[in-house]
Amino acid sequence: MTLAISTRLGPYEIVSAVGAGGMGEVYRATDTNLGRQVAIKVLPDAFAQDPERIARFEREAKTLASLNHLVRSCSVFV
């Protein structure tokens, strides 16, 4: 799923593409509620139907969420 600049996903507005790899595409976005920059990772449509890929994505999200003690860390919303 490729997202166009200015696409809205809930309170997030896509600003630019950051990169793409084996697990999906990453975008820079603005959280319009809090006025902060965030990264959004989107799985390809085919992966969204694959339980193994979803489990890997969820493990990655949990790992990132556990890093909340670091400066400039991220919040994960699944």
Domains of the chain are: 8-65 (3.30.200.20)
Report pTM. 0.76
Q: What is the pLDDT of residue 69?
A: 57
Burial grade of 17 (CB within 10 A; 0-12, 13-18, 19 or more): middle
**Beta partners for 31?**
12, 36
How far apart CA 31 and CA 68 sit, in angstroms, is: 18
Tell me: the pLDDT tens digits for 10-59?
Answer: 999 999 999 998 888 999 999 999 998 988 988 888 888 899 999 998 99
Written as one string, the DSSP assignment of 34-74 is TTEEEEEEE--TTGGG-HHHHHHHHHHHHHHHTTTTSTT--
Determine the distance from the C-alpha atom of residue 17 to the mean position of all C-alpha atoms in its chain, rounded to a whole number.
11
